[in-house]
Amino acid sequence: MITDKQVLDALRGVMHPEVKRNLVELGMVKDVNVEDGKVTLTLALPFAEIPIKGDLVRMVKGTVAKLDATLQVEVNLAEMSQKERAAFMTASEGGPKPAQSANKIANVVAVLSGKGGVGKSSVAALLAVTLRRRGERVGVLDADITGPSIPKMFGLHKPPLMSPTGILPAETPGGIKVMSINLLLPSEDEAVIWRGPLISSAIKQFWNEVFWGDLDYLIVDLPPGTSDASLTVMQSIPLSGVVLVTSPQDLAGMVVRKAAGMARHMGAPILGLVENMSYVICPKCGEKIEVFGPTQAFHTALHLNVPLLGHLPLDPELARRCDAGEIEEYEAELFEPIAGQVTERVPRQKTTPIFP
């Protein structure tokens, strides 16, 4: 008669194909029960929809069947709780991952704002789109874990696939590689209610375990402010530089100065400042209207002693394209000189991660 313990011991030999630790150690096997020739157990997944879900179920069933070919095996699936997911991610951290060794990323540019609502993610996306139009190989790492918006802008909704080397990022119609937490959630409206350490762990996994391949530029969309996510990126990823995003209000300028202070404190080069939503063009007369007040960009850039890369308008067409997942179809002529300055100012020397 097969016992619960024998089943559990057998499953200790099932290695997670990505993490290289067994499923029991990772806290993925729960509620094992053997009764009347039937084995039932629960396989807890870090996310409800992961690319290797089917492979894991087959591995578990195959291992149990080896104990006794007459046994019926029923594997129920469950999503880990926040606490269980945190433990899983902590346990899964280890030595260098295959993707980390295989990736060749020439430049990593982070896009950072002091406060939310200034269009930081749209600037990050437009930078990626413009660089791609210039013929560069480009990826976007969405490090805004609790407020991800990059996939929607590019019209991406399907979960990423797996390869022996690592997670394969989603790819836009224009050939931009994208990785975001929203691609791993069962619904893009689902809230990510995580504390700082788990957010930091997810960002590290996006850097170390995603097979980006050969890229000329990886654009990192940071959350607003100077929180754990931004700190993790600056400590763990070799940055080529940071682009700051602000808007005309003096309040936004004040907060972006805090973000600049953080970047400098962490040794990340500031490539320049972009003022977004500087004005709107009247559709009838063509006049520039400063809807959020006079520009503060020149004074902010002067105060920070950084280049002013340019002003961008508040454009309803951009908003429409982002909502429709069509940002790659936005013309973005005004962004060309901004992207050009970014590429010119990227230093050859990257920052050295404190916690690689």
Predicted local confidence at residue 94, as pLDDT = 58
Predicted local confidence at residue 356, as pLDDT = 58
Whether residues 102 and 84 share a domain: the answer is no
Burial 252-278 (b: 16+ CB within 10 A, else e): bbebbeebbebbeebebbbbbbbbbbb
Distance between CA atoms of residues 259 and 315, nearest Å? 25
Sorted by sequence, the CB contacts under 8 Å of residue 115 that are 6+ apart come out as 224, 225, 251, 252, 255, 256
Q: For residue 57, give the CATH number of its domain.
A: 3.30.300.130
Whether residues 88 and 177 share a domain: the answer is no
Query: Residue for token digits 């729960």?
Result: 30
Of 92, 119, 147, the one marking the end of a domain is 92
CA-wise closest residue to 7 among 72, 83, 102 = 72
The CA–CA distances, whole Å, from 134 to 22, 116, 127, 182, 287 equal: 45, 29, 11, 28, 31
Residue 355 counted as domain residue: no
Residue 353 counted as domain residue: no
Whether residues 146 and 56 share a domain: the answer is no
Residue 299 counted as domain residue: yes
Residue 202 counted as domain residue: yes
> What is the pTM for the complete model shown?
0.75
Residue 72 counted as domain residue: yes
Residue 18 counted as domain residue: yes
Residue 177 in contact with residue 170, Cβ under 8 Å? yes
Residue 206 counted as domain residue: yes
Whether residues 173 and 287 share a domain: the answer is yes
Domain count, the chain: 2
Domain that holds residue 22: 4-92
Distance between CA atoms of residues 4 and 35, nearest Å? 9
Whether residues 102 and 86 share a domain: the answer is no
Of 92, 126, 161, the one marking the end of a domain is 92
Whether residues 111 and 218 share a domain: the answer is yes
Of 92, 120, 137, the one marking the end of a domain is 92
Whether residues 161 and 278 share a domain: the answer is yes
Whether residues 52 and 102 share a domain: the answer is no
Whether residues 118 and 152 share a domain: the answer is yes
Residue 352 counted as domain residue: no
Half-sphere exposure (CA, 13 Å, Cβ side) for 317? 10
Q: For residue 273, give the CATH number of its domain.
A: 3.40.50.300
Whether residues 69 and 121 share a domain: the answer is no
Kindly give the confidence (pLDDT) of every residue in the chain, 356 residues in length, as a single tens digit, with 9 standing for 90 and above: 789 999 999 999 999 887 778 999 899 999 999 998 899 999 999 877 777 888 899 999 999 999 998 989 999 999 888 678 767 877 766 555 678 778 999 999 999 987 777 889 999 999 999 999 999 999 999 999 888 999 999 999 988 888 878 889 999 999 999 999 999 887 777 777 777 778 888 888 899 889 999 999 999 999 887 777 888 888 888 999 999 999 887 776 788 888 898 888 888 899 999 999 998 988 888 888 888 888 888 888 998 999 999 999 999 999 999 999 999 999 989 999 999 999 999 987 787 675 55
Predicted local confidence at residue 166, as pLDDT = 84
Whether residues 296 and 239 share a domain: the answer is yes
Whether residues 212 and 84 share a domain: the answer is no
